[in-house]
Amino acid sequence: MAKQALAELQRQLGEATGVLSGYRAKQQQSGQLRQQIDALLERVFNGPTPDFPEEDAYENATNAAYSQYLAASQLLPTTRQVDQLLAQAHGNLSNAIRALQSADQMATVDLFSDSLFVEMAKQNGMAEARNAATAAQVCLDRARSINPNIPNIGSLHVTQGNFLLDVAFDNVFTDMYIKQKIQKSLHDLNQSHSVLTGLVSWSRGILAQQEHQSAQAKAAFDQARAAQTAKRVEIMNAKLGRSRPAAPPVPAVGAPPPMPPREVQNGYGAPPPHVQQGGYPMQGQQGSYAPPPGPPPTHGAAPAAHGGYAPPPGPPPAYAPPAGPQGHGNYAPPSGPSPPTYGGYPAPQLQYAPPGKA
């Protein structure tokens, strides 16, 4: 039973593979025919055609869209390369900081130990940090050779230790001196890492902007070329006496591509000011709350326009007790001045007295 099912599946797989191969062959043939038709139309309508001035308008629009596409895409490869180099420098600098932190921990242990293993671990951490910092500097120099507007991120120097001197003159004073130099290098690397983080964010914004503009220009060029081809086919069908749907209107000539989102509108040039300040946005750039216009509402009843109850103007009417003697179920108002009013209503009276203070 299982062998029969397997054989049936293999048969279906063979049929599906044959159908797929046929579809791929037809797709390839269709592409070749389309290229031949485009080449034929290009030979017929390329250049000024006084007999068909409407086709010249389509051709001019297509040429303008292609020029915009080239202008929007010419800086994209170099921008991608700069972004990759900055990302590599950021990764190398992060590795240098981790290695130097390990060396700083071993330097702390070395203050209370004479172990040769601790000394070797400290020297190894400093060596790894120097190699990673050097690799980061190489990436930054290559990125700056492509885009000179990349600023200096700060010092990437890592202190140089001497294993033989540290072993020969191993005492608490030399250990403290080496630890202070390691901490100074670690502080400089952390500051440079903060600036480089801002540069990476700036580069990603520039790359996103250029990719957006290139995609928009490519879509506009494809639309203009499709409209031009449809117009040429319409002219050929008219000459052959065939009726086909009319071509779409001429695309706008010289229309710039839509602007990218506002968060990536930095332009290709010098980094924004907040990057030069260490990668953090400056004060005043965050959104703030704007209160509604007009004076603040008064404390009292809500206005009737918003669904609240609006009391009638003027003081509340005085209470008039019904006529008749007291003590037979009729209410008599208390003597003395009337209680103060609160927003048109009597002020609330304190009803609760704490125990022992009544």
What is the per-residue DSSP string for 131-147?
Answer: HHHHHHHHHHHHHHHH-
More confident residue, 192 or 308: 192
User: Is a pLDDT exceeding 60 seen at residue 175?
Assistant: yes
- pLDDT value at position 111? 76
Average pLDDT, the chain: 74
The pLDDT, as a whole number, for residue 243 is 63
Q: Give the pLDDT mean for 256-276.
A: 44
Q: Give the pLDDT band of residue 333 (cuts 50, 70, 90).
A: very low
Mean pLDDT over 310-320 rounds to 53
Q: Which of 287, 279, 251, 330 has the alpha carbon at shortest distance from 60? A: 251
**Would you place residue 247 in the very low, low, confident or very high pLDDT band (cuts 50, 70, 90)?**
low
Query: What would the mean pLDDT of 276-287 be, rounded to a whole number?
Result: 38
Q: How many other CB atoms are there within 10 angstroms of residue 58's CB atom?
A: 25
- In CATH terms, 76-200 corresponds, of 1.10.3470, 1.10.150, 1.20.120, 3.30.450, to 1.20.120
Query: What's the predicted TM-score (pTM) here?
Result: 0.58
Residue 356 in this model has a pLDDT that exceeds 70: no
Q: Is the pLDDT of residue 273 over 50?
A: no
pLDDT recorded at residue 162: 60
d(CA 129, CA 159): 9
Give the separation between CA 286 and CA 271, rounded to whole angstroms: 19
> Is the pLDDT higher at 187 or at 249?
187
| Residue 179 pLDDT grade (very low, low, confident, very high; cuts 50, 70, 90) | confident
Average pLDDT over residues 180-208: 93
What pLDDT does 97 receive? 95
Q: Which residues contact 306 (CB under 8 A, 6 or more apart)?
A: none
Q: What is the pLDDT of residue 350?
A: 40
**Residue 314, both tokens:** 């003027």
- Mean pLDDT value of segment 26-39: 86
pLDDT at 199: 93
Whether the predicted pLDDT of 216 surpasses 50: yes
User: What was the pLDDT predicted at 294?
Assistant: 53
Q: Is 273 left (phi over 0), alpha (psi -120 to 50) or beta?
A: alpha
Please compute the mean of the pLDDT values over residues 88-95 and round it to a whole number. Answer: 96
* pLDDT(298) > 80: no
Residue 86 pLDDT class (50, 70, 90 cuts): very high
pLDDT at 100 over 60: yes
Q: How far is CA 283 from CA 150, 273, 287, in A?
A: 23, 11, 10
Query: Do residues 94 and 165 lie in contact, with contact meaning Cβ atoms separated by under 8 Å?
Result: no
Tell me the pLDDT band of 174, cut-offs 50, 70 and 90: confident
Of residues 268 and 246, more confidently modeled: 246
Least confident of 37-51, 220-234, 249-263: 249-263
Inform me whether the pLDDT recorded for 258 exceeds 50: no
Listed ranges 62-71, 169-178, 301-310, 311-320; the one with the highest mean pLDDT: 62-71
